[in-house]
Structure 1
């Protein structure tokens, strides 16, 4: 049985299960080239190449736009025109359940408690008094009990409402008008000039800050401080700086996004505060999940699950728990979860299928007419030598990565030992000065370089981990100001070409790690096709493009000056 799950909404995505096995996943932005594209029509067309028996439609609302005359939603109509026998199931009313399903069924655990921390999920009507009056609320935090016998059952939900919402508190429901964890984080991100959906930038700025007594507590009783945040569900919230003059921004925050000399202590310390307080509160939610379910296996999803700093914090705080963080924690991952939910519910199958790879993009056999562009036959050893000589090399191979992390198939690579490496690659990508870069390393050297807290691997790059003290300073280009790095471990079985390339770099430098960042420019999705890659090369300062499957190195000759420019500026 082929089941295609789709998520309409931001992080639009399509995922295909074939007899319960995850065979394909793609986010719409990779195909449309429009970041956060929420209409997975092109993803459906890719899924149709496999054949579809069931279409499962997710999102955050069961109400979809209707086409004139037929009254169908556009996704059902597209499927029907290819195969009128496809069964269509709309599950837009179970958004958090979709997150929980993806996290649990991909974890490999026999049972678990799922902790979902999200911005705003499905709207629900909650009774607020004995007279039967109901108020609307939107899913924000949830706990589910998960196993293969009973399925996935909710045990606790927190919901956010508007200013008229009456407070409801019971053993399994909390709802009021106060701002919740993710909406507070988004409000701070918006206030700092990043936009509410760019919370990762706030996470990157946070380690530059510190505890500041002039910043009020952002939360009381697990909910946002109403003297700081003004809620407006489901759209979000904003900071009321009139009550706290210290938080008043003295100038446009975008002025310091590219100039570290202009950033204020208030901005840095506000980022630190929201990171510190939210990760502690999610830790409290994990404790609640253990207490209410009795389970020691914890799976985490929802947008906050992409907070790799918080994920490492949980590992340190809860050494006795088995924690799995869904690598596609954002809403795109629900396309997988809702398909799995339908499959396991309908078939009663109890087979455990841990996620074995994130290289799940479309299978392609691409050709490209390079014309007069210089190409050279190369080996991984040649590329490793070029990187060790401070050349920026982009790499495209195989199927694209699912989720937001580049894991060696759509990556920009550089030398992590270069003290100027961060500035060099920031210039290429047009990124803010305070954002950290990631690394990829041979798994067999993982525990030699990082404080692993019992982890044997980090294949999905979901943790910002402490370098061991004796390794501090050895990889300055990927070491953040707090001594951490978001690291990916690589084995030959996972990605043979990439592992070989890192090993060749190790042979030259003694360092089994490569600087790895996503192959895209600021404001753009990761590249998907070879055409995307070549267009990005031509519109950037990237020196080289390595195509392992062709054994070719593409040299675009107009991009050779960036390293020299950074060195001159630093002189």
Structure 2
């Protein structure tokens, strides 16, 4: 049985294909169009998924969409009516698009499918799932748990902003929900906007900025803006926000409360902004922990699954795990809207069609390590590189691992493209830029000369699964880079009194451990554990680096520059290589060094993409 899942028309459009209950292919549209967070109909992602199994839309048993447009339209109308006459300008801009396209999304989807070969499909095979049910399904059905509570948190779906579902076998049902406009995702996005970052893109910057500050404004947020109950449910005072009716997230009352206007994107980040980031992060963690405790107490569930955009807050996830509220937690790696494509397809298979669920042995999940995107044969790789006029050497597997590990040990930045592309926002060793974590200058160099982004942003460590507890305060798998834990005390460096007294961004250049490039200013790290069975080439590379250096850790950041989607093809990888200060490129078994390339092919990627 083949079911195609689709998420589209808001942000992070994606497609996923389920065959007999297994996720066999999934990709975001942005990777093909090179437009970050592309919201359009995912024609390229759909074509990839269908080609992966050699079928056309006519061969599908069902096509499932990740939300219900009529319910969303109802929410928009009721919201505008509740706040009228405020918000008329926003209403006037939104309605023509809804009346022309979004309200009649079924017809729109059918028209788009007709453009695909074999896409004249029976309308009865087109199914619609509620947004948060799709999130819940994406979290529970691929999880390694037979039974679990499922917590979803994001901005807003149709009406729901957070939900609690209970999953058992192939059954899944939402038990409780919080509704718009009271939203943890929108609260965090409001502070993202206030701090001068792009909403639905820059939230992770707020999380990365938080450790540079102190949560001085957390109590003011709790006293004036959000009323958090003991069970983690909450109420937002809408007099501070503008997202219901306006074109911005916050209003003047919000700015007046904290004493500063909205930061402009090019404005210098100050200690105030860092303290504000720390404050909203602290409030978010408090809400997540309270929700976790109340869910455990009310349901008795031993396991928890998470999805929705807020589940990408790996700091909150790490604290939830550390509290041991649940025996284990599992987080959908594509927790945002892209993952809704997986969830709606799985919901159609297990819930609508009543198909049984298979639990995999050894607590394996159903996401294949996240490696669900396109891959390229060595012939295809070499053909694309030749067209791009690249100079490369084809090495054997052992030669490739040895040469790459040696380059990393010499402090070089390496672009690494192997196997199937990752699904979700994290590079997991298939489309990654790698570096030596022992280097005190690696973080700054990668941020400023390779990624062309803000210097404060931290990098993640990839560590051999068998060695994780020797380097970090974590003794479980974290394959999707969605858990934060501290570097173990024995690996930390004792700071001097003057270093310890530093504030804000001045903390950045103080080495804090044996692996300073991946140790944040609070000694934390966003960890990816690498398992030999899941990604053999990447595991082999880190193992060889360990043999050379004694360190089983690499710096791992996504293979792109700021504002660019992660690379998909060998051509994408070569362009990014030539447009940045990456020194070595490895694509399949092709090994490229920057100094051997034609200088005339060099590109300037620093300003090539819109800032994120």
- TM-score in terms of structure 1 length: 0.85
Change in Cα spacing, 1:348 to 1:478, as seen in structure 2 (3 Å) is same
Q: Distance in 2 between matches of 1:243 and 1:497?
A: 50
Q: Is the 8 A contact 2:292 2:325 kept in 1?
A: no
Match of 1:153 in 2: 173
Match of 1:46 in 2: 48
**For residues 524-543 of structure 1, what are the structure 2 equivalents within 5 Å?**
524-543=564-583
Match of 1:349 in 2: 356
Q: Distance in 2 between matches of 1:96 and 1:182?
A: 13
Match of 1:308 in 2: 314
State the secondary structure of the residue aligned to 2:384.
coil
Q: Distance in 1 between matches of 2:600 and 2:519?
A: 26
Q: Distance in 2 between matches of 1:202 and 1:322?
A: 27
Q: Where is the helix percentage greater, Structure 1 or Structure 2?
A: 2
**For residues 426-505 of structure 1, what are the structure 2 equivalents within 5 Å?**
426-427=447-448, 428-452=450-474, 455-472=475-492, 473-505=513-545
Displacement after TM superposition at 1:301 (Å): 0.6
Change in Cα spacing, 1:555 to 1:231, as seen in structure 2 (3 Å) is closer
State the secondary structure of the residue aligned to 1:112.
strand
Q: Is the 8 A contact 1:393 1:545 kept in 2?
A: yes
1:182 aligns with 2:185: yes
Match of 1:109 in 2: 145
Instruction: Report how many residues are paired.
Output: 518
1:368 to 384, 405, 415: 384
Q: Where is the strand percentage greater, Structure 1 or Structure 2?
A: 1
1:329 aligns with 2:350: no
Q: Extract structure 1 runs of 4+ deviating beyond 6 A.
A: 63-68, 233-236
Match of 2:65 in 1: 57
- Any unmatched runs of 5+ in structure 1? 123-137, 162-178, 257-262, 562-571
Q: Is the 8 A contact 1:214 1:246 kept in 2?
A: no
Q: Distance in 1 between matches of 2:579 and 2:321?
A: 41
Q: Distance in 1 between matches of 2:251 and 2:210?
A: 17
Q: Is the 8 A contact 1:115 1:300 kept in 2?
A: yes
**For residues 241-390 of structure 1, what are the structure 2 equivalents within 5 Å?**
241=253, 244=256, 246-249=258-261, 252=264, 254-256=266-268, 263-345=269-351, 346-352=353-359, 354-355=365-366, 356-365=368-377, 366=380, 367-370=383-386, 373-376=390-393, 377=395, 378-390=399-411
1:199 aligns with 2:203: yes
Q: Distance in 2 between matches of 1:201 and 1:22?
A: 30
Match of 1:35 in 2: 36
Change in Cα spacing, 1:190 to 1:20, as seen in structure 2 (3 Å) is same
Match of 1:514 in 2: 554
Q: Is the 8 A contact 1:33 1:524 kept in 2?
A: yes
Q: Distance in 1 between matches of 2:219 and 2:330?
A: 33
Q: Distance in 2 between matches of 1:559 and 1:537?
A: 13
Displacement after TM superposition at 1:244 (Å): 3.6
Displacement after TM superposition at 1:213 (Å): 5.5
Q: Distance in 2 between matches of 1:155 and 1:71?
A: 28
> Which is further off, 205-214 or 465-474?
205-214
Kindly provide the CA deviation profile for residues 319-354 of structure 1, in whole angstroms up to 9, marking residues without a partner as x: 543211111110111101111111112143132253
Q: Distance in 2 between matches of 1:387 and 1:560?
A: 24
**For residues 75-94 of structure 1, what are the structure 2 equivalents within 5 Å?**
75-80=109-114, 82-85=118-121, 89-92=125-128, 94=130
Q: Distance in 2 between matches of 1:307 and 1:496?
A: 28
Q: Distance in 2 between matches of 1:234 and 1:464?
A: 35
State the secondary structure of the residue aligned to 1:494.
coil
**For residues 400-439 of structure 1, what are the structure 2 equivalents within 5 Å?**
400-427=421-448, 428-439=450-461
Q: Is the 8 A contact 2:373 2:420 kept in 1?
A: yes
Q: Is the 8 A contact 1:247 1:266 kept in 2?
A: no
Match of 1:237 in 2: 249
RMSD: 2.7
Displacement after TM superposition at 1:92 (Å): 4.4
Change in Cα spacing, 1:31 to 1:389, as seen in structure 2 (3 Å) is same
Q: Is the 8 A contact 2:420 2:430 kept in 1?
A: yes
